Amino acid sequence: MKIGGLQKVSLIDYPGEISSVIFCQGCNFRCPYCHNPELVDPELFSACLCEDSILSFHRSRIGKLDAVTVTGGEPTIQQDLASFLKCLKAMGYQIKIDTNGSMPGVLARLIAEHLVDYIAMDIKGPLEKYGKITGMAGVSEQIAESVRLILSSNVNYEFRTTVVDSLLTEEDLLNVGDLIAQSRRYALQPFVPSKALRPQYLEEKSLSLETLARVRGQLGKKIDSVIIRPST
């Protein structure tokens, strides 16, 4: 595992649980608004944290933490993710993965081996816009497959979209609703400029809250819970 950071405790990353947050280094996407450039651009990587020390830390927190959130970067491109999660599961932790959904084969294995309890999957936009938004063309089938896998699993999940005005329209968001129709939980995340992989995106803004409220009303007809919350 290439681990770029550890947050020892979080009350907001794993819904309803006290979790640590492990930040994986590396991502196969290049979303221009990404707020973790130091985990995505190899030129900005710092020295990796030692996997053994991360596991030791979690061993010492058994009974104090409920869960571990594994985020990035993109966790599912890590070669030894499954074996790492097995170690954490053996300590009794619930595991949440934040993923861009580009590696459905990895998600399928994590689900089948009961190594994940909660999946938060980014939906970058309608499938036809993935190349433009992520810089990675030809990934739409993998995204659709990940959505299908999650919806047919027994794992808790949410889908979420960071909304940047110059990249997504109201119609795009309604199309995303078709992709994840009948899902339980969807978060619309207005883009909040703080850090960005492409610094010019610090000048960008979200679609208006009024527009997002309208989208929420429409999507609420096919998704159980649609919320609006700031991107983190």
Which residue lies nearer to ligand SF4 by CB, 94 or 134?
Answer: 134
Indicate the SS3 state at residue 19. Answer: strand
Report the distance separating Cα 174 and Cα 126, nearest Å. Answer: 9
Which residue lies nearer to ligand SF4 by CB, 65 or 167?
Answer: 167
Which residue lies nearer to ligand SF4 by CB, 34 or 103?
Answer: 34
Structure tokens at 22: 């492990």
CB of 133 vs ligand SF4, minimal distance in Å: 8
In the chain the beta strands, taken as DSSP E runs, fall at 3-10, 19-24, 67-71, 94-99, 118-122, 156-163, 185-190, 225-228
Structure tokens at 151: 């919806």
Question: Which residues of this chain interact with ligand SF4, rule CB under 6 A?
Answer: 27, 29-31, 34, 36, 40, 72-74, 100, 122
Question: Which phi and psi (to 5°) does residue 116 adopt?
Answer: -140, 140
CB of 122 vs ligand SF4, minimal distance in Å: 6
Which residue lies nearer to ligand SF4 by CB, 114 or 195?
Answer: 195
Which residue lies nearer to ligand SF4 by CB, 95 or 103?
Answer: 103
CB of 48 vs ligand SF4, minimal distance in Å: 16
Report the distance separating Cα 72 and Cα 22, nearest Å. Answer: 8
What's 116's DSSP letter? -
CB of 106 vs ligand SF4, minimal distance in Å: 14
CB of 92 vs ligand SF4, minimal distance in Å: 28
Give the type of residue at 111: I
Q: What is the number of other CB atoms lying within 10 angstroms of the CB of residue 116? A: 25
